[in-house]
A and B are shown apart, each in its own frame.
Chain A
């Protein structure tokens, strides 16, 4: 039954992704500017021969429907096209940059879930006590502080002033990156057998991870708190308590499991936004991820790059939704049964 469920979800995915490419393609072409005129340097833009060469190279001399079909045909072969600005395959650009973003987003998520869920439980259990108020303030601060401000402040405090944590970048500027295998520095440094580098990589993840994860942390804390409070009012909890179960087991064993369902949804959705929206964190922390790549590509009218990133993020969202749905089933057998 689970297999059927997965299959159904997969089939829905195909038209969804097609729709994403079509919409992005159309929107990008609505901009009344010629990408070549924006990309080529002064002299080249003035040279009809060079302009013609690039127009041909990128298929811009064809009609719009032709260009779109051309794109789809290449896509089936796993070819995302060539970036106008980097003049390299978009797939290669993404391959190099996506692991950096995923690594950062995972660090952020780890922080957000650990701190957020803990704060949420503490708040709900000690409802309306001082510790609840404190936890709620922390969550509120996490949700409301602008990331760029938090990032600059955190760097100034922990790096520039206190010198407790390393500065921007995925490793210390004087070190050399591990040989590229997975693109995850944590894994690559271990594969290279360089433990010192691994420690350096981890230490570089702490600050940007906390900054990027602060918003998700706040949301998760609030969501966990309200869901847990709801559940704690439920009849079965009263029953459990009446049976003389230890409060600890009531909360962690019975209530939390049900309270986590909305939290899992939030975790899934915020993880997607962490991947897609880390632009400022990536800028401030000199992090070579896809957030900045997407913004740069959009600003330079680099259509294949924009399409590539959009598609990648769409795939990520679809995957996360998919995983979230399955997790629901695991957490709540009633959903599985439907």
Chain B
């Protein structure tokens, strides 16, 4: 049947991101975040020296806070869901953070569109030691879980220990915790294994949600060593929640629906919405039709063309915000795999040959920005690295090739995901072809090498590809989350292109131990400058999130960590 011939469509619709979108922001941990902090932080003083203002987040019709009435109703989100589990300590995908944001809460949070300030939430105070190794939190009074149980420091310790002991995908986030003490029910003192100025920003991640330890234990949960085998709570947590958030989970059917209802026992202001349903709708055109017919209230996966059409037709509001996703071009640096690319000048020539503006204007309809290096715009030390940015300069590219003895060009193999989609919804084929075209203009002949998306990923991870295009989504709100994997030998991304520059690694590792935000920014900027000079990775673009919501929806703001804060959404 035609079905078989036409699988390109379903393939194209399948947005694969390789890491879960957890976080975003400016992550100026030791820095600006303590604005909400009433206590006197033992150390890093809040400073206005925050980096780059990100290009803003556009909310849907702003509302003045109004007391929720009995109205509310059901809010339906259509998206391509990728949920594997809704256990906060195991989930590591792109859809689950929306549920985590609604049903659970964390010690700290952010308040988009301001994504640069980490704010206190369940904690009312934090003291950070001078050496950024000890973090002492004081919990707010009167917080209760949906079960009615009070939230205490023991729940915090249970949640973080369980995250680590489950030894699942996100467990590494908790590896940095050496010990936790609870002097009383409202105080938690966390000591890290090494100084880390990024820790507070890490705690914004949904994996650091605070669970109701009594309820989780009742359903077979444990935070003891060996929990990876003995913990039995996940099955229950997939269908129910054990948090303190404004909503409670009512059920999940894989790739069908996730249902949440308003938490009647919420300690804060109750959410205006009564019920939220996340429906699995893989096809973007279908999402658009559902939205325009009023059957759903938000469509999460419209591509740039559909967004433009909907906007022009005036049938929905478009909510925009900054993601921390990045798309990059990777070049292998070894003579065996990289061949000509082993010469730094050849990689630099490619950096000068790519038409970055063309990619953003033609392929993303302008809905993207481009940071100077692989660390996304909006984070600490990125604006400071502005002078390391590559700009298209074909003359310079040809000159560099000539210096490398390749005046007549050479043949480069560019591997990409056949039928795949890159971050920002760009077709892999189209992006690869665009780059091939750009490179041909300086004499580099590109052999396009399409492979099944996961075969490409596996080969890239195994370090077998001469060059490829790939995406990266954030782990947490701090440049640390990019600096290490891209800049330190043997780490996730660096290993795949055999990148090794001890100087870059040292700068990035020192930055993590530095409390002073200005000094941190300087170290990150210097590291990025050297990284760009080596050019193993070239950032192509950082897409904007574009979400279409119904015309009567209010208070819908894109949140790069949890997708959207559902407690603020209402329907007119």
Contact = CB atoms under 8 A, between A and B. Distances in A.
Contacts of B169: 40-41, 43-44, 50
B1 interface: yes
Interface string A273-303: 1000111110111101001110110011100
Interface in B439-495: 452-455, 457-459, 461-462, 472, 475, 485, 491-493, 495
Interface in B261-302: 277, 279-283, 285-286, 289-290, 292-293, 295-296
B189 interface: no
A299 B453 contact: yes
Contacts of A240: none
A147 B5 CA distance: 10
A301 B76 contact: no
A177 interface: yes
Interface stretch (B14-22, B53-61, B124-132): B14-22
A86 B458 contact: no
Interface in B1-17: 1-7, 9-11, 13-14
Contacts of A156: 289
Given A85-B84, A147-B6, A177 B293 contact: no
A47 B10 CA distance: 32
Contacts of A169: 279, 281
Interface stretch (B144-152, B248-256, B387-395, B429-437): B248-256
A33 B256 contact: no
A223 to B, nearest CB: 16
Nearest to B452: A299
A283 B167 CA distance: 35
A114 interface: no
Given A286-B282, A296-B14, A43 B277 contact: no
Most chain B beta-carbon contacts within 10 A, residue among A33, A156, A288, A292: A33
Contact of A295 (B10, B281, B285, B290): B10
Contacts of A176: 259
Nearest to A215: B1
B475 A43 contact: yes
Contacts of A44: 169, 172
Contacts, number: 167
A41 B458 contact: no
B74 interface: yes
Interface in B238-260: 253-257, 259
Contacts of A192: none
Contact of B167 (A40, A50, A215, A279): A50
A300 B9 CA distance: 16
A74 interface: no
B7 A47 contact: no
B167 A53 contact: yes
Contact of A96 (B4, B253, B293, B452): B253
Contacts of B18: 41-42
Which size bracket describes the interface of B in this complex?
35 or more
Contacts of B472: 42
Nearest to B289: A160
A37 B286 contact: no
Contact of B283 (A147, A278, A283): A283
A155 B287 CA distance: 12
B331 interface: no
B2 A147 contact: yes
Nearest to B93: A41
Given A147-B6, A148-B6, A177 B458 contact: no
A128 interface: no
A34 interface: yes
Contacts of A49: 167
B2 A37 contact: no
B29 interface: no
B78 interface: yes
A279 B7 contact: yes
Contacts of B13: 283
B6 A300 contact: no
Nearest to B173: A43
A87 interface: yes
Contacts of A35: 454, 458
B499 interface: no
B92 interface: yes
Interface in B65-101: 74, 76, 78, 84-85, 92
A280 B167 contact: no
B133 to A, nearest CB: 23
Contact of B6 (A33, A96, A146): A146
B289 A167 contact: yes
A120 to B, nearest CB: 20
Nearest to B172: A43
A174 interface: yes
Interface string A144-166: 01111000100110011001000
A308 interface: no
A268 interface: no
A179 to B, nearest CB: 10
A81 interface: no
A155 B295 CA distance: 14
Contacts of A97: 255
A168 interface: yes
A174 B74 CA distance: 7
B196 to A, nearest CB: 16
A41 B92 contact: yes
A31 B259 CA distance: 38
A138 to B, nearest CB: 17
A312 interface: no
Contacts of B461: 37, 45
A87 B255 CA distance: 14
Interface string B179-196: 000000000000000000
A292 B80 CA distance: 12
Contacts of A283: 9-10, 13, 282-283
A45 B246 CA distance: 35
A239 interface: no
Contacts of A167: 286, 289-290, 293, 295
A33 B19 contact: no
Contact of A33 (B20, B76, B455): B455
27 contacts: A38-B455, A42-B18, A44-B172, A46-B491, A46-B492, A46-B495, A93-B254, A147-B3, A159-B289, A160-B289, A167-B289, A168-B281, A168-B286, A169-B279, A172-B295, A173-B78, A173-B295, A176-B259, A278-B3, A279-B4, A279-B7, A279-B10, A283-B283, A286-B283, A292-B10, A299-B452, A301-B458
- 3 nearest A-B residue pairs (beta carbon): A38-B454, A33-B458, A37-B458
Interface of B: 1-7, 9-11, 13-14, 18-20, 74, 76, 78, 84-85, 92, 167, 169, 172, 228, 253-257, 259, 277, 279-283, 285-286, 289-290, 292-293, 295-296, 452-455, 457-459, 461-462, 472, 475, 485, 491-493, 495
Given A280-B7, A286-B280, A301-B455, 20 more contacts: A33-B454, A34-B458, A41-B20, A42-B19, A44-B169, A44-B172, A46-B492, A147-B3, A148-B9, A167-B290, A167-B293, A169-B281, A174-B295, A176-B259, A177-B256, A280-B2, A280-B10, A283-B9, A299-B11, A301-B454
